A and B are shown apart, each in its own frame.
Chain A
């Protein structure tokens, strides 16, 4: 019935009407609504006017240098892999976005839109230029004494984090703690994220949940080595993005350690190895 008209495939139309959020080498990210509001009001009750929740669409577009059928099957695998990793996380109690729509033919994964900011944007050094204004606005609120009780947070080294984060009713310590706990829950379920950075975690505005995102490189592994490397990648991301991040990352590890219990020690030992390897490599390279 609905397929009889020869117009563009539905998901392509959906992408056309969506707002581009970011354009990467592998995928384009959009904000979209899966259905629309009625155009005329007659004969429709109020419920129909309720806003539907936005979704995030991750479009893995065609790679023209790849053979079309190989490209299609790789795209399918990537999308299936990301969706399955999200599902495993959900069942294991790791806070991740829910899945809302999957179209493997068009290479699109639709997930719950998280209303919030990435951890990268919330920590010093991570804000993009266009976000600085927003930060300053928050500072003003604080100076006027109208700030929330959390106010500014002293992070060691005398650096003060001006609290955009205050709006999210969370302190930096609490935030680092949540990061450690979520990663531990994920590793306890033998899920390796594969791309842990402060842009791949978000703080949800309404509930102050820490949400892990971007499972495009995630995989299943029980190996201590894979978990240690996962942590090391995050440590490097902290160091390269946020100045004086050592105390921040050790707060993450503290919370991780508590949650991992007896599983921590072998991972810690391996993390030390991985760090050493990393240093040697950078001395050679």
Chain B
């Protein structure tokens, strides 16, 4: 698990963790759906239990990609300009190149087939026990963020960002490392400038 500190956002603390070999993705997804529907008191407890962003790790091109989406979501929240219900869903929205919220959650959120997950939690101050709470929900193996590189599915990312005939990629054809770093740079930059893209 990693922890990011932001003094400019009233000292927000953000915890992020990477899970491999996740076996209960479908169950996590249905828990999130149920919690959103359950409006009673136990609904509150359940909503708090799943109050994280669960992101399919295949769609994340680098730690910087994740950090950039978190930053823009924090900014939108602080300015009262969230397009989605919570800062956590805003992270998913920020990652998707289109403005369609349902599509963002379907593409970037946990799906029934997910086996690798990034879990993010935004708090106003350091909250104890977060690692345990993440592990309570996700059945899988928490791994260091360096492992993200092996999980990224570059072909899906290329499809979402329509990166086929770009001259930037043609120029480095055959050099996989260069190609990936160019894609990452485009993806990170697109996330950062989503508000002014069109």
Contacts and interface: CB of A to CB of B under 8 A. Distances in A.
Bound pair: A and B?
yes
Nearest to B146: A47
A189 to B, nearest CB: 7
A99 B78 contact: no
A87 B186 contact: yes
A99 B192 contact: yes
A255 B103 CA distance: 45
Interface residues of A, number: 47
A90 B12 contact: no
11 contacts: A3-B80, A35-B71, A39-B5, A48-B2, A83-B192, A87-B190, A90-B186, A93-B182, A102-B193, A185-B167, A188-B167
A100 B192 contact: yes
A13 B77 contact: no
Interface in B166-189: 166-172, 182, 185-186, 188-189
Given A84-B196, A91-B168, A99 B2 contact: no
Nearest to B171: A93
Given A2-B12, A84-B196, A34 B171 contact: no
A34 to B, nearest CB: 6
Given A3-B79, A11-B75, A101 B68 contact: yes
A45 interface: yes
B106 to A, nearest CB: 25
Given A92-B168, A104-B195, A13 B189 contact: no
Interface of A: 1-3, 5, 7, 9-11, 13-14, 17, 34-39, 43-45, 47-48, 52-53, 76, 79-80, 83-84, 86-87, 90-93, 98-105, 110, 185, 188-189
B74 interface: yes
Contacts of A98: 185, 188-189, 192
B2 A45 contact: yes
Contact of A99 (B4, B168, B189): B189
A35 B166 CA distance: 33
A153 to B, nearest CB: 28
Nearest to A36: B5
B119 to A, nearest CB: 15
Nearest to A102: B193
Contact of B4 (A43, A48, A100, A189): A48
Contacts of A39: 5
A79 B196 contact: yes
Given A90-B186, A90-B189, A98-B185, A2 B68 contact: no
Name the residue in B87, B128, B185 with the highest tally of chain A Cβ atoms < 10 Å from its Cβ: B185
A99 B194 CA distance: 11
Given A2-B74, A87-B189, 7 more contacts: A2-B9, A10-B74, A35-B6, A83-B196, A92-B167, A93-B167, A104-B195
Contact of B186 (A91, A102, A110, A189): A91
B123 to A, nearest CB: 9
Contact of B166 (A3, A7, A44, A92): A92
B1 interface: yes
Interface string B1-28: 1111111111010000000000000000
Interface string B45-76: 00000000000000000001001100110110
Contact of B78 (A3, A17, A34, A48): A3
Contacts of A48: 2-4
A13 B168 CA distance: 36
B145 interface: yes
Contacts of B87: 1-2
Contacts of B36: none
A38 B3 contact: yes
Contact of A110 (B74, B167, B192): B192
Nearest to B15: A48
A84 B198 CA distance: 9
A178 to B, nearest CB: 14
B8 A14 contact: yes
B104 to A, nearest CB: 18
B77 A86 contact: no
A91 B169 CA distance: 8
A105 B75 CA distance: 10
Nearest to B185: A98
A105 to B, nearest CB: 6
Contacts of B195: 102, 104
